[in-house]
Structure 1
Amino acid sequence: MAMTKMQYKNFIFDINPSDIKLTLKKNLAKTNVMHSTQVCSEVGESVAVISGKGRFVGENAIKKAYELIRIYNKQGADFLFTPCCAPMLAVFNKLNISYSSDSKRVEYTFEFTQQGRRKAEKYDFGYTFANEGENLFDIAERTQISIEKIVELNDFCGVFSVKEGDKVWLM
Structure 2
Amino acid sequence: MTVAKMQFRDYVFKNNPAKIEVTYKNKLVKNYSPAKGSIVESLGSESRTVYCEGEIFGSSAAAALKQLYPLLKMAENCTKGSLFLPSEKPFTAYLSAFKYQAAGDGRVISYSAEFIESMN
Which one scores higher on RCO, CA 8 angstroms, separation ≥ 6? 2
Counting aligned pairs with the same residue, the percent is 24
Alignment of 1:1-171 (within 5 A): 2-34=2-34, 37-59=37-59, 60-116=63-119
Q: Normalising by structure 2, report the TM-score.
A: 0.85
CA contact (8 A) 1:20 1:84 kept: no
Q: Normalising by structure 1, report the TM-score.
A: 0.62
CA contact (8 A) 1:65 1:106 kept: no
| Structure 1: gaps of 5 or more residues | 119-171
Which structure's residues are more often strand, by fraction? 2
CA contact (8 A) 1:78 1:90 kept: yes
- SS of the residue aligned with 2:66? helix
- Displacement of 1:68: 2.3
Which structure's residues are more often helix, by fraction? 1
| Structure 2: gaps of 5 or more residues | none
Aligned-residue RMSD, C-alpha: 1.8
User: Number of aligned pairs?
Assistant: 117
CA distance in 2: counterparts of 1:77 and 1:12, whole angstroms: 15
CA distance in 1: counterparts of 2:78 and 2:39, whole angstroms: 41
Name the larger-Rg structure: 1
- State the one-letter code of the partner of 1:62: L
